[in-house]
Structure formats: C-alpha cells, structure tokens
Structure 1
Amino acid sequence: MKLTVVGGGSTYTPELIDGFARLRDTLPVEELVLVDPAAERLELVGGLARRIFAKQGHPGRIVTTADLDAGVDGADAVLLQLRVGGQAAREQDETWPLECGCVGQETTGAGGLAKALRTVPVVLDIAERVRRANPRAWIIDFTNPVGIVTRALLQAGHRAVGLCNVAIGFQRKFAGLLGVAPADVHLAHVGLNHLTWETAVRLGGPEGENVLPKLLAEHGDTVADDLHLPRPLLDRLGVVPSYYLRYYYAHDEVVRELRTKPSRAAEVAAMERELLTMYGDPALDEKPALLARRGGAYYSEAAVDLAAALLGGGGSPYQVVNAFNKGTLPFLPDDAVIEVQAAVGPAGPVPLPVPEPDPLFSGLIANVTAYEDLALEAALRGGRDRVFRALLAHPLIGQYTYADALTDQLIAHNREHLAWA
C-alpha cells in the first residue's frame, strides 16, 4: 500500500507519522511519500518521520520529494494538508477583517473566504494529477476550509472525502468524561464543516442509548469551559455546539478578544520555528509534547481510520466525514457537502439518516451553505463581484458596507494568489 501526503513538510506531519506507526495493523503502509516544495522543512520532517518509524519497528519506507507527479504516482490514497501562502497568509486572514469589526479567522468569515480562493484552484490541479496517476486513488482532504474544498473536489468528479478532527476530539473528550472506550461513543454529529452540533451521544452504535442529557447534567461545566461558552447556553440549546459556533454565538465578544492579543497565526509561527529546531535533533525519535499545542489533535487516528475503511483493510464502520448531502438534510441541495456520521467502505461514504435539526440550527446551516455556494463560484470563476456576493451572504458579515470594504482588502492581500486579480 502506498500513501502520499501532499504538504508533507508541515509541522503537523509527525502527528500523522506517529499514527501510521502505532496503527500499522489497521493501515499497513508499505511506502509513505511526503511531498512538499519546501526542501529544508521537508528534510527535517522526513528525518524525524523515519526515526519514528524505526523506533516503533514499522517496516514501511518513507520517501521525501518535491516532485508532486512522482509522489502521487501509483498512490492508493493521497492526503492533502497544504496551506497556500503559509502562515504569512494566515496572519493576514486573521487580522484585516478585524478592521471592519468582523471576526478574523482562517476558516470562516472573510479570512475563510480568502483561504478558499487561494486554495481551491491549487487543490483541483493536484487532484487532476492524482487522477492521471491513478484514477482509483482516494483523496482525503484535511485542507481548510474543508467543506468548500471537498465540494470542489466532488463536483469535479474526484474520489474525495473531507476530514476534520472536531468530531474525534469530541468523541475522545466525551469518552473520558463518561469513563468508556472511545470506540463505544457514537456521535449524532450534524451540520457543515466547522458548523456542527452534537445532537446525541450514543453508547455502542447509532441505535444505542443517548447519554447526552446525562453528559450535560453531570459535566456541562467542563464542556462549556472547553468551548468558552456559558453553561446556561448549553442547557438551553440541549446540544453541544462545535467550538467554531462561538464565532456566531459570541461574535462581538470574540472580536474584542482578537483585537487585544496576538493572532493565532503568530503563535503557530513561533511554535513552528521551535518544532523545526526540535525536528533537526537526530536524537529525537518521537513526536514532541509541544506538537499537541500546534492543533490537529487526533488527526492521525482519524486519517488512519478513514484511509483503512476506504482502502478495504479495516477501520471503523461509522465515521464523521464531509460528503455530498444526497437528501440527508432535506432542506439542502443534494450536492451540498455536509459533515455527518457515515458508513464508510471502499465505495466511499454513505451518510447515515439524521433527524431534521431544530430550526435554530438548520437555519444557520442553510445560510452558510448558500455562502459556500457563492464562495466556491468565486474560487472557480474569480471576479470582484463574486467575492462581494459571497461576503454579503456570510452571516458573520452581511452588511454591504462591510462586504465592499472586505472585498477590497481580500483582493489587495491575496493578489499574488488570485490569477484573475
């Protein structure tokens, strides 16, 4: 089995390597190729990756290359974890929207749209090259904004599934609070990428006992603290929202916070410099503790589980993924990309039936889906007016004066990445 990671020079990658090494019985990788144009970073990450495999006795071969076509040639699955423009572009995504009093964030709002515009054309080019190399290869997308990127891939006919670590993070957190094994926790996870709610927490499978009321009653304070949302709000909602819902439920509070502290991009950039120094130590043969602060917790385990299921070698039968709606949420188009529990196998994911969400949630889902439609159109076709329409449609923006100003800012800060600008 050959797997390729595009963006393999990311400081995330040792987390992924650790998962491949520990879970080799679930996903027996024979050749792992790390592809990245940043040669110096790739050398550091690749060296640590080989040492991790060696320490854990993994017999697989790790190859590093800047040649995308060679890297994806013959791959059974290709994982995408790239960041077009690097942390410098992320820093901009998180700062210039604040000038209009809007959330500055890399996956939602104006910053999220900027990232989508930079990313979609690059990902589609990569996917076409994967298809030429092996039409049966699966593409697993971890590149944000996952929902929009996955929809672009699926609409272009690629064998693609979107992956996010939010659900597996909740699964592990809830399992710890309930004192059960993570595999026993089945989430009724519904919405769009970075816009989801846990509407039930079932033990043992999709039809198991719903223990969400018990979880909120006994551990609501802990859950609320993790989300930085007030406990009474969770009690009134009766569900557990993703922490990304804080951008909607406490927008002005978040903007005030973001204006008074360093950007997350600056924090991550500093961490990355420290991590790369660590990775260069030939004595280091395991992922360092600092990596846990970098983000992406449990990404490796989710990726291994998904790849194993898609490639027919195992994996959990039910997983939270990003896939075509296909009637699962009847108020959305069939070709909308939703994030829900799905049965996953070699034929791809099949979303499980879910009760129609409360209008409090479905209304926001429908609104953001409309934004994502317009965002993808802007990413594929370009043009100032298409960018403006997407920003105007976003519930975190919504005012024409803001949308106008943010359109000009977005184009000015991303001109080098926009072929049409």
Structure 2
Amino acid sequence: MSRSVSRRAAMAQIMGGAALAGCAGAQASKLVGGAAAQTGGTSGADVAPKGDVEGVFDLYIANHRPMALMSSGGGVPVPVLFDTGSNGNMINKQIFDQFGLSRLPNHKSFITDAEGHTIETYAARVPDMQLGSIRLPEPVMDVTDYRDGDECGIIGPALFEGSLVFMNMPKQSVYVRRGTAEPMPVPNAMPYSGKPGDGLPVMSISVEGVSGEMSAIIDTGKDGALQFPEEMIDSLPLVAPPRQVGTATTVFKTVPVYGATIDGDVKIGSRTLHRPDVIFHGDRPKVGMPVLESQRFWLEPHRQRAWVASERALPEEMAVSLAGEFGERRITADENGLSYQREGAERKRLKYLGVDQFLFEDGTDLIFRRDPSGAISGYTLLGSDGRPTEVMKTS
C-alpha cells in the first residue's frame, strides 16, 4: 500500500521566525488530523448570518478537493475549499486586500490545528458575499496567511447557521434550505462530535468483525478515504500489521504515520468498502472525500446534527400523507411506496431516502416541503446539475 501524507495546509502560517515551521506543520496535520481550521472570536460578533438562507452552489472537485467559488460585492470570484471538517471560515490576506476589506475592530480570532496548536489572527466582514445563488450579507471570516495552489480560503457549513445543508456529492453540489422552526424527526440523525455549538458532523461506521457501530468525522477537507486513531490498531481486523506509510509534521514535532488494510467490509453511510486501506493517526475516526464523493448527506449546524440520505423502507402511513396533485404532476401511494407521474408521461417509482426525501432512478432528488403546520405544501426537484425546481401542491 502506498499513500501520500503531505496534504495541503489548513492552519495559518505562524508569523515571524516560526512561519516556515507553521506552514509545514499545517500541511501534515490537516492530512491526518482532520478539522484543522477551527476558529473562535472573543468580540461577541456573529460569525454567520442565521436563518433565512436558501440556494445552491457548485463544488469543483479535483484530486479529492471540493472547491467553491466565492465573491464579494459582485467582484471576481475566488476558489475556496469547502471543508465539513472545519467549524470556521477564513480567507488569506491577498483576498482580504483584493476585496478591499477592513479589520473587524475589537475582535480577536483564534485558529487551532488538528494537533491542538492555536494562533491568534484577525477577522473581517465580507460584504455581499456570494456562493452560486446564495447571498450572505456580511459574514465574518478570519484572515490568515493560508494559501495553497488555487486554494485561498476555507469555508464550512457553519457559514449557514440556521439553515439545512444538503451535501449532494454525486452532483458536486451543495443545496442550502431554510431551517424549520421545530426540529424535524430524523431517526438516523447523529449529534455532532465535540463541545455544544463547536462540534463537527459525524456518520456511522461499522467494521466487519467488530461489534457495534462507531462514529466518524465527516471531513470533506480530507483527501484520504479512512482514518482511525492509533489506539484502535489492536481492536480492528487487519490483513497484516501496520507499517509506516509517511510522517506527519506539526509545528513542534514530526511523527510517523502508519497504514494497514482492513480484513473485511467496512460500511460507511450508504456505501460498503471491501478491505479498504486506512491510516492510523489522530484521536477520532474520520471519513474523507474518496468515500464522501458518492454520498448524499445533510448537515444542520444550528442543531448540531447530521444524517445520511440512504434507501430504506417507507412507512405506509407516511406514504399516504405525501400523495397528492402537484399541478400537472401526480404522486400516488400503494403497497410498494410512492409513484410519480407527469401528465402524458410514464409512471416512475420513487426510492425513499429518509425524512421527506426521495430519489428517481435517473438520480433526480425530490424533497418535499411542509408549511408551518407540517402539511405538505410542495416539493423541490434537484436535477442532474443540482439546480432546484420548485413545484407547489394544488390538491
């Protein structure tokens, strides 16, 4: 097994004489350590607008790096990494200057890498920020020396506090929907890992031969498939003993990184891997982009929970409650679930993915909408390009 462990930086360079060491430490710790771009302000300023945010933006994925294009005030857009393994948002100093931003007064921000090292930086409001069709009035973002190739910033789901974030990875698209006043009943939702209000999303993992399930950080900023803590080496079935596959360098030290092959199947969300290669590092299991690129999953930052959209049985009572007329479209319920038919077209079956979400055979997503009373008011279609089409219920 051969694996690179020199992943791109996610921690700011430390100023002055330690700058070089800070940069090198960031590159390796973000690879194997997960959420490196954690931020926190002390001024009490809101880091993200809350509530009424809805729209869609594309992800451009290359070498397992999910990039989005961000602009301010209608200016030239810049590429930023969309990292679900980060609970902060930051841009580099060149973009700070390009956007003509000003430092936020009386505000201190701190960035912590995956090894727990923290530096202080400053922050700025980004006026009229846009991602695809989503506009955010003035989110606050930390400003750092971080830059790696085209990547000139890191943003995460916390930017959409108060909304639901659908990571439609097969379509390389992120759909943000207005949050609900009351929590939706989601049987398979998993609470974030970490401190309340400062956690990271997780999904369940089950390893053949290991009893029970475990949770793993959902980390789109990680370009490796699977990572486990070293302390789990003896509890996992391995084809052979782990061997060193690289090193991880932090600001203060360099440590070896070990890898091995799991002897059996590993089920992650809606996907099963046969005898996958894994690395051992850090303090928590993590799932990276090679796995996440095929997944559909939801994040709810303000309620600190996440869930995977995967096929399951549809309760008969729920099927009946979803049936109705939607203009020239009709949705009907029978013993096999739901069927969808547009006037003059053939009937199509809908696969149930949990909560109010369904999937056509061609990969189109259908997500029902409800009014404040909980009654069905329509649905959203997400086609092959991930763009939403709204359909209202007529009877």
The question of a shared fold, defined as TM-score above 0.5 by the shorter chain, is answered with no
TM-score (ref. length: structure 2) = 0.24
* Larger relative contact order, structure 1 or 2 (CA cutoff 8 Å, min sep 6): 1
Structure richer in helix, relative to its length: 1
TM-score (ref. length: structure 1) = 0.23
- State the structure with more CA Rg: 2
